[in-house]
Structure 1
Amino acid sequence: MSRSVLPFVSLALGLAASVVAGAPTIGKLQWNGPVIPGKPNMTLVGNDVADIYDQVLRINPNFVPNPTPADLNETINTNIHAPADPPPYECGNDLSLATASQGDVFTLVGDINRIGGTWNLGQNSYNRLLCQGTSGIYWDNYNSHLVTASAADVYARAIAVVGGCCLESPNTVSGLSSFPNNHPTAAYSDILVAEANCNDPAYTLPFNYAYPGPNAYEGQAPEVDADRSRR
């Protein structure tokens, strides 16, 4: 997973320093979107996307989620080969970011737009947005203010990582994609794809897991942890 589109050296050092310093802090996820047809949008706060989705279903058991794109695999393939540049990304081996399972991540990427809407993350915080098996999608906000992004924005960055960082290791993927500095509401925040343990709190830093992790590809020594859960 050595391909990269932009140099993220300073960003990687900043993230590592944050981990050492014990920051960022716990980050709750806030969501705003339609829950009941014909009614105003609602704002919900939860530990992660799954928590918010459960709240939506409790309010409206007949809620119909956005369908997973039928052409998800084609979308990922297009991002690998399209002449237009995808959102910038950096692959996980350059950041010592433990690997996720590509199969799990495909599912999670499809789940990003499940409830659509707009997501907010508080200042100087991390959140594991989604988790399955030993894989997760994270959001890092290292601003001193709240950041806001649409589900489509998050989806595009996760797709860029999946499309660009699994070329040399077809069963694994890890990396990050930053929102551009001129993004009106989410500048200086990142979407990360990496190892996760679904038993750990949703705010657990992805850098807490040793590289390369349990999904290591051939040539890497896998991390052994018999207690990892699946959900």
Structure 2
Amino acid sequence: MLVNDDFSLRAIVQTHDYTWVPSQQTGIERMMLDRLGGEAARATSIVRYAPGTGYPLHAHPGGEEILVLSGTFSEDNCHYPAGWYLRNPPGSAHQPGSAQGATIFVKLWQMSSAECQRVRINTADAANWHRQDSLAICPLFSSETEQVVLMKLAPGDLLPFRTDRRTELLLLGGQLAITGQVYAKGTWMRLPAGDTPPLQAGAAGATLYVKSGFSDYPQAGR
């Protein structure tokens, strides 16, 4: 399966574009943002768990990155409310689910084989944020090839990003505008290197997940 598979092109998915696809587990649905492969694939998705649903214990040979968007996501008797960021390195295994229901942003098969540390960060904790002028930043992960942060932009501010790196965004709150086109909460964007539109926060500001500089690691199932 191929979804937004040409990484040389700008890709934008807005909330009114969401199409939920049932997974192999009853009560769990996926909104596919990009995908290269079958059931075991390099994929970026939003996954929605109905209350009381989950997956059996399984491994992630290519690693898994998760941001909990709503509800409470659980794995291996640990519980993560909205705002938690998780990285499970290549070769890790878990048994995920949700007693009350949850929606999560998930990236699969997009980690270097050199990653070996689990990451758990509560982005709702103010101690994990710092300020750079009017910009607030919560660092999530950094390596030689990849940087992941949450950003809070003040009203009218432009999103700062490098011109030489591919950038991926998920709008978690507020609005963004590009030359008059307004994008609402839930919008996902992937911008190739060199594509740097003037992304401006709306009147209430904007909160975003921002990933930049990541490489194309080996893909599964393509």
Length-normalised TM-score, structure 1: 0.26
Which structure's relative contact order is higher, taking Cα pairs within 8 Å and 6+ residues apart?
1
Length-normalised TM-score, structure 2: 0.27
Q: Which structure carries more strand by proportion?
A: 2
